[in-house]
Structure 1
Amino acid sequence: MTEIVVALRSPVPVYEQIRAQVTAAVAVGTLAPGDRLPASRDLARDLGVAVGTVQRAYKELEAGGVVESRRRTGTVVAAGAGATASGGRAPRPPADVVARARALVEAARTAGVPDEVLIDVVRGSLAER
């Protein structure tokens, strides 16, 4: 599984940070249908947060159709998650679009552009269309 990192001092709730990172990993194909997420206790311990925080994130992900909880196997990426990772609005982007997004992120980091600024630039570009 992709590494999840949370900012405990961020104004964004930790459960939302976890939810957004898992959703993003599914959207770009880092997590594929059937991939298993860590047990909520294990992830909570690794992140230094309460188990209930991780459980809330998993519950939100399940409600959004991104993951499903199964007995014996735990929480896994749902079969149709590639299409619903962005809230059901669109299917997973083509591989070339994901590659270009990764290249944009790399260029921004090389130039020292903070992630928040890059996201604002992308949102501004989307608004232009």
Structure 2
Amino acid sequence: MTELRVDLTAATPVYEQIRSQLAALVAVGALRPGERLPASRDLARDLGVAVGTVQRAYRELEAAGVVHARRRTGTVVAGDAARPPRSGPDHTADRVDLLADVRALVARARAEGLDDGELLLLVRGAQAELRRRPSPGAVRPVARARPGSPPGR
């Protein structure tokens, strides 16, 4: 499995750091459906954190449908976890293209000296900006005129 890193001094809780890194690895296909995650005790020892911290990350992933906990085989990536939410013949190709764009963005940010935190701030800012902007063709609410008021006011 790809190496996970935790920052014990970060404001983000350690379980969330583990959860988000594992979810990202599933999203990009580095962890495939059916692949077994390390036992929580082993991962906790490797990361230098409490077993309960890793177990909480695994529980959060299971609640989100990213992994399944199995009694004899441990925690494995869900069979449908990496499946795109939409289907269609072109969707898989679109997702591959999008992942290539994201990788190029990360490479460019690193080349320009941005660290991961700065890049994530830029991405979150862009997401927030797009949430505020109506999408093209979106239905915009129209203020209703009060009865008896002149049109256009």
Residue type at the aligned position of 1:59: R
Aligned sequence identity (%): 62
Radius of gyration: which is bigger?
A: 2
TM-score by length of 1: 0.88
Q: CA RMSD in A?
A: 1.7
Structure 1 Cα separation of the partners of residues 46 and 118 of structure 2: 28
TM-score by length of 2: 0.75
Residue type at the aligned position of 2:33: P
Shift, 1:72, TM fit: 1.8
Instruction: Report the 3-state secondary structure (helix = DSSP H, G, I; strand = E; otherwise coil) of the residue aligned with 1:82.
Output: coil
Instruction: Name the structure 1 match of 2:32.
Output: 32
Instruction: Report the 3-state secondary structure (helix = DSSP H, G, I; strand = E; otherwise coil) of the residue aligned with 2:69.
Output: strand
Residue type at the aligned position of 1:60: E
Shift, 1:124, TM fit: 2.5
- Aligned ranges 1:1-129 → 2 under 5 Å: 1-83=1-83, 90=85, 94-129=95-130
Shift, 1:110, TM fit: 1.5
Q: Which structure has more helix as a fraction of its residues?
A: 1
What 5-or-longer segments of structure 1 have no aligned partner? Answer: 85-89
Deviation readout 1:15-68 (Å, 9 max, x if unpaired): 000000011111111111111100000000000000010001101110110000
Structure 2 Cα separation of the partners of residues 3 and 24 of structure 1: 12
Structure 2 Cα separation of the partners of residues 43 and 24 of structure 1: 17
Structure 2 Cα separation of the partners of residues 78 and 122 of structure 1: 27
Structure 2 Cα separation of the partners of residues 17 and 110 of structure 1: 24
Answer 1 or 2: higher relative contact order, Cα 8 Å, separation at least 6.
1
Structure 1 Cα separation of the partners of residues 52 and 128 of structure 2: 36
Instruction: Name the structure 2 match of 1:87.
Output: none
Number of residue pairs matched?
A: 124
Structure 2 Cα separation of the partners of residues 11 and 110 of structure 1: 26
Residue type at the aligned position of 1:98: L
Instruction: Report the 3-state secondary structure (helix = DSSP H, G, I; strand = E; otherwise coil) of the residue aligned with 2:22.
Output: helix
Structure 2 Cα separation of the partners of residues 126 and 10 of structure 1: 23
Residue type at the aligned position of 1:72: R
